[in-house]
Amino acid sequence: MSDDGTLEAAQAALAAEHATVYGYGVAGARVAADRRTEATAAYHAHRARRDALVRTVRDLGGEPVAAGPAYALPFAVPDAASAVRLAAVLEDRVADVYSDLVRAAEGPLRRSAADALREAAVRAVRWRGSGVPFPGLAERAADGSRTDGTGDRDKATAGRSEAQAGTAH
Amino acid sequence: MRRTGTTRRGALTATGAIAMGAVLAGCGSGGDDESAGRKGSARADARTAADRSSAETSLRVKARGVSTSLYAQYEHVVQAHPATAAGLTPFGTPFAPTSRPWAPATRSASSGPGPAPVAAAAVRELAAAERRAAASHTEALMKAPPELARLLASVAAAASAHAYLLTELAKETKA
């Protein structure tokens, strides 16, 4: 795989982590008290991944893509139940980009992308209570095992938010 | 734990293993090595492509073996501990005892003496097997060509997720 392909995939992963960190800012504020610790841990994990990807992109000679000021949420998040659904969707989406990074990268970067994909899949399952057969492979999720509009992932990386809260940075 | 119902509903574990086996079998014949070598089709390239393809095939065969033996373990646990079946296959088919209709999870939870602790141990053992599968697929993906690496990463991720679900299920089973 060319360096350009690797850089592009790393940038996509970084953009997705920006969106995820933002999303957890929203979700974390809404989840029930007994799941707050989990949300906070996930938030910090994604921040750490984001920071690592910033370094990766620089190492690959790129200019790290910046976080958007706000992101469109896939659905309204007025309560604890929707916050949990949002968290699960965030993990699905980030898994999608990490699978692409696995394909585009080699060596340690491939390994860390695979680890990030595994972690995202486990968190998705924790939030949702069920798994999908192929985490991170959007093309194999057409059986309806994923709901909540995870099909069009670009929503997470563009657009203004109607989000009421959630300054995640 | 707190998500009693969801965990049981969620353990689609074995179905994942089956789907994975099918995928690895389906594209085992070097169908997706377009990532490399196709354009520069000199003889030397053809030779390295062949080497690469055989390395890829052996990675696929190994991964398929991992999932097949995992599947056998599921089968074994369900046969030894029928009470675990509902938790292991919420949507029915693979492990349904042929003589009996599928017991809904709600009923199995409320009726009968409940699974013995030994069943919990068996489920924990499955969780450990899933973790080993995840580690094996992760190791394999480091040597795999791009597309296969992506697939193996997904399969490893699914195995880790299953390990989590099974660990939760084991806790419920014990309770």
| B106 shares contact with chain A (CB less than 8 Å) | no
- What pLDDT is attached to residue B55? 87
**Distance (Å, rounded) from C-alpha A90 to C-alpha A16?**
9
For B145: left if phi > 0, alpha if psi spans -120 to 50, otherwise beta; the answer is beta
Taking only the tens place, the pLDDT of each residue in B146-172 is: 999 999 999 999 999 999 999 998 888
Mean local confidence (pLDDT), A125-129: 93
Interface test with B, best of A130, A132, A140, A147 (most B CBs within 10 A): A130
Gap between the Cα atoms of B56 and B50, Å rounded? 10
Ranges A92-106, B11-25, B54-68: which has the least confidence: B11-25
Mean pLDDT of chain B: 69
Q: What is the mean predicted confidence (pLDDT) over B21-33?
A: 50
The closest of A72, A82, A95 to A156, measured between CA atoms, is A72
Give which of A130, A61, A47 is closest to A94, Cα–Cα: A47
Inspect the interface and report whether the beta carbons of B161 and A121 lie closer than 8 Å. Answer: yes
Q: Tell me, rounded to whole angstroms, the distance of Cα A92 from its chain centroid.
A: 7
The closest CB to that of A129, out of B7, B155, B156, belongs to: B7
Structure confidence at residue B98 (pLDDT): 33
DSSP secondary structure, chain A, as one string: --HHHHHHHHHHHHHHHHHHHHHHHHHHHHS-GGGHHHHHHHHHHHHHHHHHHHHHHHHTT--PPPPPS----SS---SHHHHHHHHHHHHHHHHHHHHHHHHH--HHHHHHHHHHHHHHHHHHHHHHSS--SSTT-GGG-TTTT--TTTT-GGGGGSS----SS----
pLDDT in tens, A4-55: 899 999 999 999 999 999 999 999 999 999 999 999 999 999 999 999 999 9
Segment A75-94 shows an average pLDDT of 97
What's the token pair of residue B112? 């009968």
Interchain proximity B154–A134, CB inside 8 Å: yes
Lookup result for tokens 């009470």: B83
Rounded to an integer, the average pLDDT of A126-140 is 88
Nearest C-alpha of chain A: how many angstroms from B123?
A: 17
pLDDT at B29 over 80: no
Contact assignment for A95 to B157 by CB distance below 8 Å? yes
CA–CA dist A99, A108 (Å, integer): 14
B20/A133 Cβ within 8 A? yes
* DSSP states along B83-99: GGHHHH-TT-GGG--TT
Q: What is the nearest CA distance from A108 to chain B, expressed in angstroms?
A: 9
Nearest to B142 by CA among A92, A12, A97, A113: A113
> Which residues in chain B (14-43) have CB-CB distances under 8 A to chain A?
15-16, 19-20, 23, 35
Using CA coordinates, name the residue in chain B closest to A138: B154
Q: What is the pLDDT of residue A139?
A: 86
